[in-house]
Amino acid sequence: MIRGNLLWESVVLLLKHHTVWLFLVPWWLLIGGRPRLKRELAQRSPVDPVDLPYNQELLDFLKRERQGGRQIVLITASDQVLAQQIGTHTAVFHEVHGTSAGNNLKGRKKAEFLCTKFGERGFDYAGDSPSDMPVWRVANAAYVVGTEVTVAQVAAVTEVLGWFPGGTGISGDWWRALRISHWSKNLLMFAPLLLAHRMGWQPLLRILLGIVLFGLCSSGVYVLNDLLDLHSDRAHPWKRSRPFAAGDLSITSGIAASLVLLASAVGLGAVLLSARFAGVLVLYVITTTWYSLHLKRIALLDVFVLSIFYSFRIWAGALVASVPLSQWFMGFILFFFLSLAMAKRYSELVQAAELTDSGNSGRNYRTADRALLMNIGIASCFSAIVILSLYVHSTEVMALYRRPGLLLILCPLVLYWTGRIWLKASRGELNEDPVTLAMKDAVSYYVAAASVAVILLSSW
């Protein structure tokens, strides 16, 4: 009836809010099996039934059947406490039976329970899992939530009266979950190489490899963060459509994909590039996970940390290309990306004002904070411009450019582009990360082309 698994929903909540308790999971399994585990999770990390991703087609069908006079019973392997909460919320079921102490209502035990209560072939059963096969074997008929393959398997043991397509994990869902389009942010790794005027084939190839590995790492982090933000995303106006929040992808597949991606990125980074690059990836994973678990709920600090995530890519590019980063450049990118991070957070407050005021946004902000965020963000933008104008007159620039004075033209270009981002944010039109937006924004390409032309003219 829901597009997901309540056990894993509870595990994710435990990881996010009571991380230390995860170490007791093996103990709960050892002393009481799955029933004890489910009860402990239900008590320590209760799932709110309101925002769960329900299979609305099946739910509507059950409501029509009840109105037609049929007895509708919810019987589930989930804990009795959670099952009762969902039964109360949906208001569809005459009875609710879930897993209780010593009795895990799954597979064969569920089949035995139903046969005892209604008799063999005395009920129709709706399910979606291979573990439901023992139940279907003793059911009068079946309603299947799943793929055509599942329907064919069930049809071999009983009559199928209805099918509710519920296949998950299509390529489009994984493309969105892995945020492949966000790999464009990794092009920032080219910045140290370009600004140092070192364009040999070997450093270029190393940077390209670094972009791919950082992409694998960031995709693994995106999946992990989506799992941790699962429940707050479901209350958000547009984040609710993310694959894990919507139930299009399972939590278990997300955990597996995240672990594989992160291990591959760090391992290959250490072998193919350098241990220092792999160390940057590990630090990036630790920081982003800490951000998702705790830092994102600390007002203002969350935005400062968010701006550092952009800097990680430039730092990684400098390590891969063996190019030192000047203090001027580091100062510029810190203030520049802080402005973009402020714009992103400001935009979220504009688009989800009701969610923010209700305290369910996952952030510790109020709508009245928008003015402060805008002031800090615009001030950061101008700070970056001032640093850029001073950088133009530094000894490093004098040594690299024949006409360094022309680089001052970059200041109004950068100011225009950043100002345009803030304009979109204030209008509620900034629906994604500013750097990601730039990769599909025509005006951003015009500004980039003009900036490249200025740099080339300054070099000749």
Is there a single domain that holds both residue 103 and residue 217? no
User: Last residue of a domain, which of 269, 292, 315?
Assistant: 292
Residue keyed to tokens 């003219």: 457
Q: Structure pTM?
A: 0.82
Is there a single domain that holds both residue 30 and residue 179? no
Report CA dihedral (143, 145, 151, 154) to the nearest 10 degrees. -60
Is there a single domain that holds both residue 415 and residue 269? no
Q: What are the tens digits of pLDDT across the range 57-92?
A: 999 999 999 999 999 999 999 999 999 999 999 999
> DSSP character for 298?
S
pLDDT of 331 over the 60 cut: yes
Contact 329, 195 (CB under 8 A): yes
Q: What are the tens digits of pLDDT across the range 208-220?
A: 999 999 999 999 9
Is there a single domain that holds both residue 96 and residue 216? no
Taking the C-alpha atoms of residue 52 and residue 58, their distance in angstroms, rounded to an integer, is 14
Q: What is the mean pLDDT of the chain?
A: 88
Q: What are the tens digits of pLDDT across the range 385-419?
A: 999 998 888 887 788 788 888 989 999 999 999 99
CATH number (domain holding residue 44): 3.40.50
Compute the chain's Rg from CA coordinates: 27
Share of the chain above pLDDT 90, in %: 49
Give pLDDT, residue 134.
Answer: 94
Read out DSSP for 6-26? Answer: HHHHHHHHHHHH-GGGGGGHH
Give pLDDT, residue 360.
Answer: 52
pLDDT of 440 over the 90 cut: no
Show the tokens assigned to 109. Answer: 């035990």
Q: How many structural domains are present in the chain?
A: 3
User: Last residue of a domain, which of 132, 165, 198?
Assistant: 165
> DSSP character for 23?
G
Give pLDDT, residue 138.
Answer: 95
Alpha helices (runs of H) in 273-409, residue ranges in sequence order: 275-293, 301-321, 327-351, 353-358, 370-391, 395-400
3-state secondary structure of 333: helix
Is there a single domain that holds both residue 158 and residue 176? no
pLDDT of 28 over the 70 cut: yes
CA dist list (Å): 8 to 45, 58, 231, 358, 421: 11, 22, 12, 26, 38
Beta bridge partners of 146: 165
Give the confidence band of 449 by pLDDT, cuts at 50, 70, 90.
Answer: very high
Is there a single domain that holds both residue 381 and residue 266? no
pLDDT of 167 over the 60 cut: no
Q: Taking residues 312-338, report their average pLDDT.
A: 89
Report phi then psi at 451, rounded to 5.
-65, -45
Give pLDDT, residue 358.
Answer: 54
Is there a single domain that holds both residue 402 and residue 337? yes
Is there a single domain that holds both residue 155 and residue 288? no
Q: What are the tens digits of pLDDT across the range 92-121?
A: 999 999 998 778 899 999 999 999 999 999
Residue 112 lies in a domain: yes
Residue keyed to tokens 């103990």: 27
User: Last residue of a domain, which of 275, 292, 309?
Assistant: 292
Is there a single domain that holds both residue 197 and residue 144? no
Residue 311 lies in a domain: no
Residue 310 lies in a domain: no
Domain that holds residue 239: 172-292
Is there a single domain that holds both residue 150 and residue 187? no
Is there a single domain that holds both residue 188 and residue 148? no
Contact 214, 206 (CB under 8 A): no
Is there a single domain that holds both residue 115 and residue 157? yes
pLDDT of 359 over the 70 cut: no
Taking the C-alpha atoms of residue 216 and residue 258, their distance in angstroms, rounded to an integer, is 9
